[in-house]
Structure 1
């Protein structure tokens, strides 16, 4: 008789089996509660939704969330983000990979900067350039009608945009953020040969509202300036604005001045919302701390606040403050626009040469990534991650210039509008165009792939 057998009850196998079964049931129940209770496919996100390894349908892969290659030339118009799909790794071997190295081959330079069409064609559709072609086509047609001239002769590409791009008509996109969003709106408008317009009623400053309306297409891009998550205007506030909290700014500026732009003549909209806060919160905390330090000094020793660059993370209480206010911000806007409008969090950019000076903004960005994905089931508009390292694209220490990265921003914005309109794109190829009968069903269109794409991702 084996040792210790007398100490094991005859019912032990059944108890062990029951315990294992119970633990499995509890685990499955917990996973389902996480997935269903929060409306998220957390399990799929944890194991890696963007690997393109068969875990998600190809039509639900977000190319801008995939690792990729930023293709640029001297012509900014050719800027493309090229994801590393499996097809990239299946390309034929280069002669230089041969081993042993052929004596007559010379050094391994591989300095040809062109990209084969087989690779370039897998890049996402350059939707902004398509919008520009569509706008120019409609403009020529309308000008011919107004002057009683025959319609201009159509090129093959004119016919293509005429037949496929009508889904962009009567659309509204709302950017709720800071000067980076306003700059991107300005660059988008200039690339269309138009001017962005700033407005704010009696509160007009650069930090109020701006919009860019594209005639003929009737698509409008609107920016509402969010002055961080502060609840009031302290006496030390460093910018010329009378209202600071988003609640007051909505009631006194956004709703009376800008809401008609967001809703539009068609009575619909917005069709897509980007939300952001962070830079202003960081500066507000620095400003308040500076003010308190100066109050403790004789008046002749006090210095004026100059926007500083923190070299340490924010305090945990500062992050708690921003998180609680941002929760109210999202809930407030959902109450204004309803639950059906797709909302995305626009991730924060860092400074041109920030290094340790980026700790503050990265603290907020990392926290907000976690907040919006876990609390609000919101996807991340991660342009800042793709633009990382493009230091030559900055016009100052924090703002981007009109260049390659601004063009990428415009392409990304319309990529998500295409998806919200019911379009499907796989590896740079349109598999399904938005249909007139369903293109306004924003929530249904967005939800087709949404659960696969709610991914926190760290910075």
Structure 2
């Protein structure tokens, strides 16, 4: 796993030859994570790539690394790559303490321009080997190597980059023709935009809906990989309390804008997106805050107020209506995740958002919807925001992409346990039951944790 944290940043800064060597080395190392494939000269798009197909009798351990206690490791605060969630492991309490202070209590570090810095050492191998695969970084590496191959072809040269490209294709074959639907607000749209920009994808905005809602589509044409964002919350400049969503207005917006375009987000299985991630917290919170401000005739909004019971009940209605709409469109087999709400970057307490997130966790638990804990994991990282609600491009947006693709990988039949890719997706099947094979276990764990 250690090799995942090197190479991507250097690709843009060093010579082409060194770049190709570094990426080839990384991809060859990555193959060690895959189950061995003897005698496979090339992979086709319609195969399991030599791996066992998943059946109801297959036994494996269901472990979600993003639901485990851990920490975000990043090389620097400005890097897009070299960021991952590192789960703790059972041997952590037995780790030997490494000295970071001398006998006089002064830190053992380095001095640069008279400023002291602690070294940001890579976590130990025993910790890193449990970290989930960085699919986002592999996609970025594929793009960089593909550009290198194109440069070599124009120059009439053949170098090791062509081999590196083949290796990356073998690792990433399963993302081809996939479709991810993200339902939320501008915070989600921003994360989709960051992902698309970092891979030089085609980002298309539907101009017809700019005053009431928005539909944004990112297409990575090399893979026919599509991420679509539907914004349910307020979009226009005049976002008064009457403009923010209620369950009834969701019906109107859904039928007018999303149903006509619903076929465009159908994925490999031919009937639904391969994965849906949704959250409705920020504009619902704005609705309640605005209503309260008007009710008590205040001049400023108060996010520190604890929401009352009826407000929470109304929010659960909105959640249930949205989930019902998704089920009506795509059936009950489509995997759906609730994304936990990230708190706002402001000087006030954000108690209202905490209230909504808490009731949403409960409602989704009762409605058999799993949770992607991105909002919970990044709480407190406010210096990585670009404004009060939107996360800037960098380590946190890279983490979101890695998390989304971990769940997408699982939805296609992939199995990763403690950093080991024990089974790759089966491309011959239009429907895969792998999601349900671990779903009950993860829902049971969610009920215990909550």
TM-score bracket, shorter-length normalisation = 0.7 to 0.9
Q: Indicate conservation of the 8 Å contact 1:139/1:216, yes or no.
A: no
Equivalent position SS for 2:435: helix
Instruction: Write the distance in 1 (CA, Å) between the matches of 2:276 and 2:179.
Output: 9
Instruction: Write the distance in 1 (CA, Å) between the matches of 2:161 and 2:392.
Output: 35
Q: Indicate conservation of the 8 Å contact 1:188/1:407, yes or no.
A: yes
Question: Which residue matches 1:253?
Answer: 257
Matches within 5 A, 1:152-167: 154=161, 156-167=163-174
Select which of 404, 411, 434 maps to 2:425. 434
Deviations 1:13-64 (A, max 9, x none): xxxxxxxxxxxxxxxxxxxxxxxxxxxxxxxxxxxxxxxxxxxx97311111
* Correspondence 1:272 to 2:271: no
Question: Which residue matches 1:128?
Answer: 136
Instruction: Write the distance in 1 (CA, Å) between the matches of 2:274 and 2:74.
Output: 30
Instruction: Write the distance in 1 (CA, Å) between the matches of 2:99 and 2:294.
Output: 62
Question: Which residue matches 1:175?
Answer: 182
Question: Which residue matches 1:342?
Answer: 335
Structure 2 gap segments, 5+ residues each: 1-58, 109-117
Question: Which residue matches 2:437?
Answer: 448
Equivalent position SS for 2:181: strand
Q: Residues 382 and 235 (structure 1 numbering): CA distance in 2 closer, same or farther, change over 3 Å?
A: closer
Question: Which residue matches 1:191?
Answer: 198
Deviations 1:392-421 (A, max 9, x none): 101122221111111100000000000111
Instruction: Write the distance in 1 (CA, Å) between the matches of 2:140 and 2:176.
Output: 13
Question: Which residue matches 1:36?
Answer: none
Q: Indicate conservation of the 8 Å contact 1:420/1:446, yes or no.
A: yes
Select which of 303, 313, 334 maps to 2:306. 313
Question: Which residue matches 1:79?
Answer: 83
Q: Indicate conservation of the 8 Å contact 1:179/1:207, yes or no.
A: no
Question: Which residue matches 1:216?
Answer: 222
Question: Which residue matches 2:401?
Answer: 410
- Structure 1 residue 269 displacement after superposition: 3.5
Q: Residues 244 and 403 (structure 1 numbering): CA distance in 2 closer, same or farther, change over 3 Å?
A: farther
Question: Which residue matches 1:263?
Answer: 266
Structure 1 gap segments, 5+ residues each: 1-56, 295-302
Equivalent position SS for 1:435: coil
Select which of 286, 290, 313 maps to 2:289. 286
- Structure 1 residue 206 displacement after superposition: 8.0
Question: Which residue matches 2:49?
Answer: none
Instruction: Write the distance in 2 (CA, Å) between the matches of 1:157 and 1:131.
Output: 13
Instruction: Write the distance in 2 (CA, Å) between the matches of 1:262 and 1:148.
Output: 39
Q: Residues 199 and 309 (structure 1 numbering): CA distance in 2 closer, same or farther, change over 3 Å?
A: farther
Instruction: Give the structure-1-normalised TM-score.
Output: 0.72
Q: Residues 394 and 364 (structure 1 numbering): CA distance in 2 closer, same or farther, change over 3 Å?
A: same
Please, which moves more after superposition, 113-122 or 215-224? 113-122
Instruction: Write the distance in 1 (CA, Å) between the matches of 2:259 and 2:159.
Output: 41
Q: Residues 143 and 271 (structure 1 numbering): CA distance in 2 closer, same or farther, change over 3 Å?
A: farther
Equivalent position SS for 2:421: strand
Instruction: Write the distance in 2 (CA, Å) between the matches of 1:390 and 1:113.
Output: 17
Deviations 1:116-153 (A, max 9, x none): 344333211101112233455667779999x8989875
Instruction: Write the distance in 1 (CA, Å) between the matches of 2:207 and 2:435.
Output: 32
Residue correspondences, number: 375
Instruction: Write the distance in 2 (CA, Å) between the matches of 1:95 and 1:331.
Output: 52
Q: Residues 419 and 236 (structure 1 numbering): CA distance in 2 closer, same or farther, change over 3 Å?
A: closer
Equivalent position SS for 1:434: coil
- Structure 1 residue 347 displacement after superposition: 0.7
Equivalent position SS for 2:350: helix
Q: Residues 383 and 249 (structure 1 numbering): CA distance in 2 closer, same or farther, change over 3 Å?
A: same
* Correspondence 1:392 to 2:383: yes
- Structure 1 residue 196 displacement after superposition: 2.2
Q: CA RMSD in A?
A: 3.5
Q: Indicate conservation of the 8 Å contact 1:185/1:221, yes or no.
A: yes
Q: Indicate conservation of the 8 Å contact 1:76/1:403, yes or no.
A: yes
Instruction: Write the distance in 2 (CA, Å) between the matches of 1:198 and 1:224.
Output: 11
Q: Indicate conservation of the 8 Å contact 2:391/2:397, yes or no.
A: yes
Instruction: Give the structure-2-normalised TM-score.
Output: 0.74
Q: Residues 141 and 390 (structure 1 numbering): CA distance in 2 closer, same or farther, change over 3 Å?
A: same
Instruction: Write the distance in 2 (CA, Å) between the matches of 1:251 and 1:368.
Output: 24
Instruction: Write the distance in 2 (CA, Å) between the matches of 1:95 and 1:361.
Output: 39
